[in-house]
Amino acid sequence: MSNTENKANPMKVVTGIVRLSYANVWEPKSINGGAEKYSVSLIIPKTDTKTVAAINEAVDAAIEEGKSKFGGKIPNRAALKLPLRDGDIDRPDDEAYANCYFVNANSNTAPQIVNRQLEPVLDHSEVYSGVYARVSVNFYAFNSNGNRGIACGLGNIQKIRDGEPLGGRTNAEDDFVDDVDDDFLS
């Protein structure tokens, strides 16, 4: 099923290939002191116009579906907090977000994580910040504590391929490429 042809739930999107960042997909984590949740930032290339269009359509459907949360009418989009953000504007100092959009998705329940053959990924080291994946997400309206907008729920993750790890983590092989100095302890 393509990401724009989901008739059963117009607020659900299966992305094209995105890059995962801030991937808390194995263990829930508290963000800013809130409840522990599974979460990930999906970095979407601006060239993936199909995924971007599908997200915008799903956001529109979530606004329509959630109008009861907005007093029974559809508010101006500019008055809402929207999930699709521009990496060049919101993360200008992070090269991983250059020429990309991003969406932050989270869930109270763990996502199912599968490989290209749809087999469960059990090794936690296989899915990390920097990996390339397809992700199912759903959009929904919220109105709490004066904040109104559309949030993004994390569904499932399909790992497509490895990528350069994000967040400054290095491989042990790279750290210890030099020969050990035998005279170190003498």
Whether 91 maps to a domain, the answer reads: yes
Contact 140, 62 (CB under 8 A): yes
Whether 21 maps to a domain, the answer reads: yes
CA distances from 8 to 3, 13, 32, 65, 86 (A): 12, 11, 34, 14, 29
pLDDT band at 179 (very low <50, low <70, confident <90, very high): low
Whether 185 maps to a domain, the answer reads: no
Per-residue pLDDT at 74: 87
Measured CA to CA, the distance from residue 31 to residue 112 in angstroms comes to 21
Mean pLDDT of 104-113: 97
Whether 173 maps to a domain, the answer reads: no
Quote the number of domains for the chain. Answer: 1
Q: Is the pLDDT of residue 4 over 90?
A: no
Whether 6 maps to a domain, the answer reads: no
- Could you write out the DSSP letters of every residue in 29-83? EESTT--EEEEEEEEEETT-HHHHHHHHHHHHHHHHHTGGGGTTSPPPGGGSB-S
Per-residue pLDDT at 3: 46
Whether 87 maps to a domain, the answer reads: yes
Q: Is the pLDDT of residue 136 over 80?
A: yes
pLDDT band at 108 (very low <50, low <70, confident <90, very high): very high
Q: Is the pLDDT of residue 128 over 80?
A: yes
Measured CA to CA, the distance from residue 160 to residue 181 in angstroms comes to 40
**155 is in which domain, residue-wise?**
12-165
Mean pLDDT of 85-110: 97
Of the candidate ranges 73-77, 149-153, 175-179, the one whose mean pLDDT is the lowest: 175-179
**CATH code at position 58:** 2.40.50.140
Residue 156 is classified by DSSP as: E
Q: Which residues pair with 136 in a beta bridge?
A: 14
Q: What is the 3-state secondary structure (H, E, C) of 128-148?
A: CCCCEEEEEEEEEEEEECCEE
Task: Give the predicted TM-score (pTM) of the model.
Answer: 0.85
Q: Is the pLDDT of residue 156 over 90?
A: yes
Length of the chain: 186
**Residue whose pair of structure tokens reads 């521009």 in the numeric block:** 86
Whether 115 maps to a domain, the answer reads: yes
Whether 182 maps to a domain, the answer reads: no
pLDDT per position as a tens digit, 26-75 = 999 998 888 999 999 999 999 999 999 999 999 999 999 998 888 888 88
